[in-house]
Amino acid sequence: MEALRHFISSMADDDDYGCIVQCDLHIPKRLHDKFTDLPFTPEKLSLTTRKSSPPKLVGTLHDKEKYVVHYKYLKVMMKHGVQVIKIHRAIWFKQKAWMKSYIEKNTILRQSAKNYFERIFFKLMCNSC
């Protein structure tokens, strides 16, 4: 368990492989004031007892069980003091920046654009990815 936590925290953001982790998390009480405005771990909750009310995405500071998170975000949470209590499972996958050349090309075309339409067009081409 400790070895897997250490392994995840030592993974580079641009590694050839990434993972999605299902884990139990604990945010220590001493950090609640720091994260009260923007908690790290949002969850879907029903805020009313009515069945017709859809669940809302709510940021809470409660302990999370079987919380699913990408390893990059888990690294950020661990860096800020969120404790990983247990790792249930992880799904490993090959990753690469497959859109990088397309984004860079559109960025260069946007910078060399001669009018407003071209600038907006290449910006929207990047945003539509």
Please check whether residues 81 and 126 belong to one and the same domain.
Answer: no
Q: Is the pLDDT of residue 33 over 90?
A: yes
Domain count, the chain: 2
Residue 103 is predicted with a pLDDT of 94
Q: State the alpha helices, DSSP H only, in 47-115.
A: 71-79, 100-111
Burial (CB count within 10 angstroms: exposed 0-12, middle 13-18, buried 19+), residue 74: buried
Check whether 5 has a pLDDT greater than 80. no
* 48-to-45, 53, 60, 63, 105 alpha-carbon distances in Å: 9, 7, 16, 21, 48
Q: Are residues 106 and 87 in the same domain?
A: no
Q: Are residues 23 and 36 in the same domain?
A: yes
CA nearest neighbour of 60 among 84, 27, 91, 102: 27
Claim to verify: residue 68 and residue 6 sit in the same structural domain: yes
How is residue 128 annotated by DSSP?
T
Residues 66 and 118 in one domain: no
Please check whether residues 109 and 76 belong to one and the same domain.
no
Residue 94 has pLDDT above 90, yes or no: yes
Domain range for residue 109? Answer: 97-129
Q: What is the pLDDT of residue 68?
A: 97
73 and 28 in a common domain: yes
Same domain, 56 and 106: no
**pTM exceeding the 0.75 threshold for the entire prediction:** yes
Nearest to 77 by CA among 22, 117, 30, 39: 39
CB 17 within 8 A of CB 95: yes
76 and 116, same domain (yes or no): no
pLDDT tens figures, 12-22: 988 999 999 99
Residues 71 and 114 in one domain: no
